[in-house]
Amino acid sequence: MTMSAGDVSPEVGVMIDAGHIRTNVHDVGDGDAVLLLHGSGPGVTAWANWRLTIPALAEHHRVIAPDIVGFGFTDRPDGMRYDLAQWTEHAVTVLDALGVSRCHVVGNSFGGSLALSLAIHHPDRVGSLVLMGAAGVPFPLTEGLDAVWGYEPSVESMERLLEIFAFDQTLVGRDLAELRFQASIRPGVQEAFAQMFPPPRQEALDAITHDISDIARIPAPTLIVHGRDDEVIPLSNAFRLLELIDRAELHVFGRCGHWTQIEHADAFSSLVLDFLARNPLPARHS
């Protein structure tokens, strides 16, 4: 199904052909490229996930934030199989289409597992990693994640999900719930979402989990960021990743749920910018 980008919306960037998939991408700024990979919440888009992060990072870097296939305004081709291999291939074809050979990769939640996949299967494309509230290591399905993936469209259901995401409840409310609900019922969005993480959802979670030995071989310097009060992805994931990845460091935000990049936007951006400055991409040779 083809999504129209005719809407006047900040969620729509530019449309590119990435592996024959018409893909919505935000591509702004100059410098070392940073690929931002969003999470898997219902109705999510790259812009909804990273709207506070993109401007800050784009002051120093070329920021690339795509709607991964199956999400947002990117096409959802008929018969598409949604799995980690397909999502990884799509992310690589986005980089290829934009002429990016190597980049920093920042992944949020589901996007954290996708970032790990890129580092495992395409290590030559990844300069450094930032994993925020990341999936990718084994853990028992949480009630919060089960609620996210089991979402049935209604404003009330969306409001409950937003309350799970945020520690600071002043960030959520009926208006935001209505906005995200409308995003979740755009044509084809819920149909694709229901295909991605069907019950039994522990199996769906295991399908985006990596072999521990593969994670342990990741050579890239890695910044792990997590909210202490995250009800969707447990804080124990962050400590497990810290144990596994040799060149890893960890920052935990207190009074923070699954929305680190929103609840602590300025501090998160500063943290990431400092990390990227300490781990620049190798100079390109002509």
Active site residues: 109, 230, 258
Identify whether the C-beta of residue 157 lies closer than 8 Å to the C-beta of residue 164.
no
Q: How far apart are CA 251 and CA 181, in angstroms?
A: 32
Identify whether the C-beta of residue 42 lies closer than 8 Å to the C-beta of residue 161.
yes
Instruction: Give the pair of three-digit tokens for residue 218.
Output: 């990741």
Cα–Cα distance list, 90 to 25, 84, 130 (Å): 12, 10, 19
Q: How far apart are CA 147 and CA 81, in angstroms?
A: 23
Report CA 250 to chain centroid distance, whole Å.
18
Q: How far apart are CA 76 and CA 90, in angstroms?
A: 12
- The SS3 call for residue 149 is helix
DSSP assignment string, 181-195: HHHHTSTTHHHHHHH
- The SS3 call for residue 37 is strand
Residues 6+ away with beta carbon under 8 Å from 79: none
Instruction: Give the pair of three-digit tokens for residue 124.
Output: 């030559």
- Only one residue has tokens 């291939």, namely 89
Residues 6+ away with beta carbon under 8 Å from 20: none
Identify whether the C-beta of residue 132 lies closer than 8 Å to the C-beta of residue 112.
yes
